A and B are shown apart, each in its own frame.
Chain A
């Protein structure tokens, strides 16, 4: 029923380092390390930029900028909060948004007087392990999804289409696209069991 567009997403070998930790490529002051980091991530970042609709030349420039930003900001990468790939993704995504709008999008700000804090336990020494365990659960849940459902989710992230654009390109109503991604999210959540945040 769902028309398949573009690529099929198949499982491939994950990178061979322990996830969540700072990769050795980020050792400061080592140009060879930067080259290795570039070789590992630049093809995926450039592929992402191309899918978000940038021309080859722009995609290339944006990729260089993202990789340099990753390198320069390595100090601020916190393995307790996110995996390295997630961090690279958020930098690429934000760069992409800035380029599309020619301005930064407003972000929630913990220093905002309006900020409502969580009553959950503040981050402690256990957090790193908890974060890694959550990533593992997410990884297993994702691998366990139907191809169709995983495809629907990956399209949202990497085809870079709004719901309206996706509906137009598929020739279906917006509601259909929304319920398709909603069902995929529900399936993922079901596989995560008691909730991602209550591991």
Chain B
């Protein structure tokens, strides 16, 4: 049966780590955004959580710690957080709310987020979400923009929110909900679809290393 939703998913070990609860906050947040847009990965997540349940039932004896002396109930004074604290839902304007999945809404610095000029054809909104020492950000490219050839000093993790991006090196096309991950050794050029702007959430765990003069200039301006 054909499924709606993205065709490029996060790496399987990342979804596993998300199910286990060991992903860094930036990755948990971006995974939650992808899961909002991806019924396929939500099903996978159900399987991976169910796997933990089966492990606890069938292989959990080795996990056991001594609780003989543990009182059944927490001391109320010591445990003000027994109930999970659900932060109030941030209010963001309709235009952003309809484009950006809710897990990111708490990370806008301004009440009315605005894309700001970064370089000709590129604007951005830095988020208050730390991705390995650099802010995760929303980046908007004008139609037909070319991100010059570059490599990475760390993982590049991006999630497309609107428009299209073509990885000229691999020939892969990315649309809403798709995840692109490029590691340090990958060199690539990205082309933005000609019909509409492309908005993506970017996490760069190390600075990109431009390979051309244009790229070096762009990198200085953009700081991507």
Q: Give the interface of A toward B (CB within 8 A).
A: 7-12, 14-15, 19, 34-35, 38, 42-44, 46-48, 50-51, 59-61, 63-65, 67-69, 81-90, 93-99, 101, 103-109, 112-120, 134-135, 138-139, 142-143, 150, 153-154, 156-158, 160-163, 178, 181-182, 185, 188, 196-197
The one of B17, B33, B39, B177 that contacts A162, using a Cβ cutoff of 8 Å: B17
Q: Is the CB of A138 within 8 A of B25?
A: no
A162 contact set on B, CB distance < 8 A: 17, 22-24
Question: Smallest CB-CB separation from B28: which chain A residue?
Answer: A105
B73 contact set on A, CB distance < 8 A: 64, 68
Considering the complex, which residues of chain B in the window 75-123 have a beta carbon less than 8 Å from any beta carbon of chain A? 78-79, 81-87, 97-104, 106
Q: Is the CB of A94 within 8 A of B84?
A: yes
Q: Is the CB of A106 within 8 A of B28?
A: yes
The stretch among B47-55, B165-173, B207-215 that forms the contact with chain A is B47-55
Query: How far apart sit A129 and B106, CA to CA, in the bound complex (Å)?
Result: 39
The one of A7, A95, A139 that contacts B54, using a Cβ cutoff of 8 Å: A139
Q: From residue A44, how far is it (CB to closest CB) to chain B in Å?
A: 5
A139 contact set on B, CB distance < 8 A: 54, 57-58
Contact with A along B1-43 (1 / 0, CB 8 A): 1111100000111001101111111001100110111110011
The one of B25, B47, B177 that contacts A116, using a Cβ cutoff of 8 Å: B177
The stretch among B60-68, B140-148, B190-198 that forms the contact with chain A is B60-68
Q: Is the CB of A112 within 8 A of B102?
A: yes
Q: Is the CB of B4 within 8 A of A118?
A: yes
B97 contact set on A, CB distance < 8 A: 113
Q: Is the CB of B86 within 8 A of A38?
A: no
Q: Is the CB of A65 within 8 A of B74?
A: yes
Query: How far apart sit A73 and B150, CA to CA, in the bound complex (Å)?
Result: 50
Q: Is the CB of B85 within 8 A of A118?
A: no
Q: Is the CB of A96 within 8 A of B13?
A: no
Q: From residue B61, how far is it (CB to closest CB) to chain A in Å?
A: 4
A105 in contact with B25 given A42-B70, A89-B53, A135-B50 (CB within 8 Å): yes
Q: From residue B70, how far is it (CB to closest CB) to chain A in Å?
A: 5
Q: Give the interface of B toward A (CB within 8 A).
A: 1-5, 11-13, 16-17, 19-25, 28-29, 32-33, 35-39, 42-44, 46-47, 49-67, 70-74, 78-79, 81-87, 97-104, 106, 177
Q: Is the CB of A14 within 8 A of B36?
A: no
Dominant secondary structure at the B interface? helix
Q: Is the CB of B81 within 8 A of A178?
A: no
Q: Is the CB of B4 within 8 A of A119?
A: yes
Q: Is the CB of B17 within 8 A of A44?
A: no
A134 contact set on B, CB distance < 8 A: 47, 50
A61 contact set on B, CB distance < 8 A: 74, 78-79
Q: Is the CB of A46 within 8 A of B70?
A: yes
Q: Is the CB of A69 within 8 A of B64?
A: no
Q: From residue A14, how far is it (CB to closest CB) to chain B in Å?
A: 5
A181 in contact with B13 given A93-B20, A114-B98, A118-B43 (CB within 8 Å): yes
The one of B24, B46, B52, B65 that contacts A43, using a Cβ cutoff of 8 Å: B65
B87 contact set on A, CB distance < 8 A: 103-104
Q: From residue A82, how far is it (CB to closest CB) to chain B in Å?
A: 6
Q: Is the CB of A97 within 8 A of B53?
A: no
Question: Smallest CB-CB separation from A93: which chain B residue?
Answer: B21
Q: Is the CB of A157 within 8 A of B55?
A: yes
The one of B36, B52, B79 that contacts A112, using a Cβ cutoff of 8 Å: B36
The one of B12, B37, B72 that contacts A34, using a Cβ cutoff of 8 Å: B72
A182 in contact with B20 given A47-B63, A61-B78, A107-B103 (CB within 8 Å): no
Q: What would 14 A/B residue contacts be, using CB atoms closer than 8 Å?
A: A12-B61, A14-B58, A47-B60, A47-B63, A47-B64, A51-B63, A67-B72, A93-B20, A105-B32, A116-B36, A116-B39, A153-B55, A156-B17, A162-B23
